[in-house]
Amino acid sequence: MGVPTAAIVTIAFEELAKSNAASRGMPGERICFTPHPMTNKTDAEMYQVLLGKDPVTGKPFMKEVIDALTVPLTPAEKVTGSVRPSTGPATYSDTPENLQRFFADNNMTDFQPIILPTEDKVEAMLKGTSHSPEEIVGKMSAGIPSAFPAWSFNVRQVAINAVMAGARPEFFPAILAIASTGQTAIFSSTSSFARMAVVNGPFRDKIRMNYGIGALGPFNDANATIGRAWTILSKNLAGAGLPGMTYLGTTGTNFNYNNMCCAETENALPDGWEPLHVRHGFKPTDSTVTLFTGWSLTNVCYFGLPYHEMITHWLTHYFSTSNFSAVLVLDPTVAADIKRHGFDSPDAFRDYLVKNAKTPAWLYWQRRDKEMAQAKQGVEPFASYLKMGPDADIPVSRFEPRRFPGMPPNAPLPNTIEMFVMGGGTNTYWLGGDFRYVVTTSIDKWV
């Protein structure tokens, strides 16, 4: 753009920064590196970084920054041209054992044994949809926001990955629906993100999905392979899941193996409670899949309080401290108890939780320097909050609806708490996690 720029990146992302610059057409981009991590440093420690050396080049850091802004570009730095990945040959021929090793060695699997995608098996998978094999399903990015361009893919390419995951042709419309959203299963920042897929409508019974006992466990063909296909196609059709390049989650998460794929227990919803997809604008007879994104999911079982009070307590004290959106997965026994206490719909229960969940004082004051200064000056309500002490629960909810980064200015505010009913009713369990709703999309259109 003609603007002198000094890109500054921590050393943990050296490979990512250089490969991204090359893929975007600037293989000679000037990049200045700092140590890693740069969080929680004092001012004095930060100045030592500025006065120190680039850990990659060994040059004085600030001189390197100033040179990047002022010294004319060399011929090598002016070279342009992006690097496009090869799709490889149309077919591979070898022994089954060697092909299994080939797919794994080239990061094309989840490193569990796959079903080799022979032409016969791919053709059989394509019979699971009426759509043309060459029809473009959508585009998907590698999973690091804005870092890599999105790749487009067609129905046949999705079918190949569905075969690899062990899916049956009758499951294929759900896999196409997920792929069509452009949402990768392996979304990444330095946090270890997870995804969740929830199926609603007649399709879940048509393919015999599990929404009862053990629905999130390894006990059902459809649940396991639909979720697994999402991971494998994210790697092969978007370039996701390359540690250090397109995946940066510091610890990773087991949830990425099949992305908590299940269906809602619609037949055990309390009277008057609408299923998840209906609350997002679809008809009860529509078949859909809903996607969520987040970090963690906790299995909870409290006794002694009504469940609406227990969940409020959990949202106040034990919910992920860094987030302000939540997903609740309620066993039918828990949903029934909530209904008995006067909550005639999930929306009514959500509104109660948003209003009644509080914020621990230590968390409330953590990033409110301005409010703390006002509290010390006697400005209300902050002064009263401060008088409540460090162990108090401040009557401010973290779950008031708000705009997420990148939302269109005229878009309605999203729900900060979502819920659905799932489980076999053998115990009064529920799960809670720091997930947020992403999208609900039609499965029927891909049949």
Give 115 or 17, the one with higher predicted confidence. 115
Residue 90 burial (10 A CB sphere; 0-12, 13-18, 19+): exposed
240 and 103 together in one domain: yes
**Whether the bond into 60 is cis, omega within 30 of 0:** no
Taking 90 as the threshold, does the pLDDT of residue 185 lie above it?
yes
310 and 352 together in one domain: yes
Task: Confirm whether 377 is domain-assigned.
Answer: no
127 and 272 together in one domain: yes
260 and 238 together in one domain: yes
229 and 309 together in one domain: no
Taking 70 as the threshold, does the pLDDT of residue 83 lie above it?
no
Confidence at residue 322, expressed as pLDDT on a 0 to 100 scale: 63
Segment 199-203 mean pLDDT: 98
User: Mean pLDDT of all residues in the chain?
Assistant: 91
Confidence at residue 279, expressed as pLDDT on a 0 to 100 scale: 96
Fill in the amino acid letter for 73.
L
Which range is most confident: 193-197, 304-308, 410-414? 193-197
Last residue of a domain, one of 286, 305, 320: 286
Which range, of 13-17, 35-39, 104-108, 164-168, averages the lowest pLDDT?
13-17
Taking 90 as the threshold, does the pLDDT of residue 37 lie above it?
no
Fill in the amino acid letter for 37.
P
- Say how far apart CA 282 and CA 378 lie, in whole Å: 50
17 and 107 together in one domain: no
Confidence at residue 32, expressed as pLDDT on a 0 to 100 scale: 95
The pTM for the full model equals 0.85
Segment 332-350 mean pLDDT: 96
Segment 285-296 mean pLDDT: 95
Taking 90 as the threshold, does the pLDDT of residue 319 lie above it?
no
Confidence at residue 404, expressed as pLDDT on a 0 to 100 scale: 67
Confidence at residue 243, expressed as pLDDT on a 0 to 100 scale: 86
Residue 34: pLDDT band by 50, 70, 90 thresholds? very high
Confidence at residue 145, expressed as pLDDT on a 0 to 100 scale: 61
Task: Confirm whether 33 is domain-assigned.
Answer: yes
Last residue of a domain, one of 260, 286, 312: 286
Residue 277: pLDDT band by 50, 70, 90 thresholds? very high
Taking 80 as the threshold, does the pLDDT of residue 408 lie above it?
no
Confidence at residue 409, expressed as pLDDT on a 0 to 100 scale: 78
Task: Confirm whether 321 is domain-assigned.
Answer: yes
Residue 104: pLDDT band by 50, 70, 90 thresholds? very high
Task: Confirm whether 291 is domain-assigned.
Answer: no
Taking 80 as the threshold, does the pLDDT of residue 341 lie above it?
yes
Task: Confirm whether 64 is domain-assigned.
Answer: yes
337 and 237 together in one domain: no
Taking 70 as the threshold, does the pLDDT of residue 402 lie above it?
yes
Q: Domain range holding 435?
A: 297-365+393-442
Task: Confirm whether 407 is domain-assigned.
Answer: yes
> Which of 138, 127, 366 has the alpha carbon at shortest distance from 237?
138
CB 286 within 8 A of CB 201: yes
38-49 confidence digits (pLDDT tens):
888 888 999 999
305 and 272 together in one domain: no
116 and 240 together in one domain: yes
Confidence at residue 273, expressed as pLDDT on a 0 to 100 scale: 98
44 and 155 together in one domain: no
CB 266 within 8 A of CB 215: no
181 and 310 together in one domain: no
Segment 292-302 mean pLDDT: 86
Following CA atoms 99, 100, 105, 106 in sequence, which dihedral angle do they give, to the nearest 10 degrees? 70
Confidence at residue 190, expressed as pLDDT on a 0 to 100 scale: 84
Give 300 or 421, the one with higher predicted confidence. 421
Give 398 or 282, the one with higher predicted confidence. 282
The tally of domains found in the chain comes to 3
253 and 302 together in one domain: no
